[in-house]
Amino acid sequence: MIEIEHLKKSFGDTKAVNDVSLNIKEGEVFGLVGTNGAGKSTLLRMLAGIIRPDEGQIRVDDRPVYDNPVIKQDVFFISDDAYFFPNATPRIMRDYYTSLYQRFDTERFDSLAGGFHLDQKRRVADFSKGMKKQLMVILAVSSGAKYLLCDETFDGLDPVMRQGVKSIFAQDMSDRGLVPVIASHNLRELEDICDHVGLLHQGGVLLSEDLADMKLNLQKVQVVFAEEKDREAATSELNILLTEQRGRLWTYTIRGERSEVEAHFRSVTPVFFEVLKLSLEEIFISETEVVGYDIRKFILG
């Protein structure tokens, strides 16, 4: 488990991370969402022990990570712009990380490199962006590290490779308890893989919620009423977060369990209604607007 308490980090007058508190539990994929400049990369670098916080604490499995070589064996950071030695090949990078991580599995690295069709004798500098991302993922999972910190790792991967990486993560979570922490600016990217999502904005945590709980407690309903008085009577007792109207069709985002919401609309006998599945994007729009933010202004796209 990673415990983050009141973490702060500034660069000059810029507050990159401002009083962040989060818990990243074992057995789940944690998604960290935010625009460029929201503090994601700085937070991940502090989690990896690369930079020291100005204030606050980070504990990985109840141990501090900064300046702690033992706990760093359990943490691997995949930067958005990974560094490779000049003229290095995948094999050279493999041997380098083998010297850093005592549990590095060279056989698995060779097998995955072959599966991804990465020529181990070719210069990494000649690889495409997507191939470099693949190489870093293979190095990361072969390292034996428990916590994998991914900064825009899926950016640059084609859909087939994205699915392949997600499958590797799922396998390692099952086989050895891997905990992926995936930072992205794209909500759609994280929707089908994350169990818990935290939203960073201007260096702070705007929202941190379990995705399953959010989906259980928010419902999207499309409904048509016979008359306006019927609509007013039907919606007066509901906890409605968002309302949209197109002609006679009303769309509501409602806080509550699905069974209760469905039972309510059956009881008021509208002309038509249906409960639709909410996307992660729609969930975040609803939750953030409640606390006074319009997420569409700074996160979607």
* Average of per-residue pLDDT across 94-108: 97
Query: Does residue 246 surpass a pLDDT of 60?
Result: yes
Closest CA to 40 of 128, 164, 129, 153: 153
In this prediction, residue 84 carries a pLDDT of 94
CA dist., res. 105 & res. 103, Å (int): 6
Residue 22 lies in a domain: yes
Tens-digit pLDDT profile for residues 141-160: 999 999 999 998 888 788 88
Count the domains in the chain. Answer: 2
Domain boundary among 202, 230, 258: 202
CB 44 within 8 A of CB 180: no
Higher per-residue confidence, 175 vs 213: 175
Indicate if 183 and 239 belong to the same structural domain. Answer: no
Residue 97 resides in a domain: yes
User: Could you list the residue range(s) of the whole structural domain that residue 232 is in?
Assistant: 213-297
The proportion of the chain whose per-residue pLDDT surpasses 70, expressed as a percent, equals 95
Question: What's the pLDDT at 200?
Answer: 86
Helices 129-142 & 159-176 angle (0-180, nearest 10): 10
User: Is residue 42 over pLDDT 90?
Assistant: yes
- Regarding whether 109 and 23 lie in a shared domain, the answer is yes
Q: Are residues 41 and 153 in the same domain?
A: yes
The reply to whether 111 falls in a domain is yes
Chain-centroid distance of CA 214 in Å reads 15
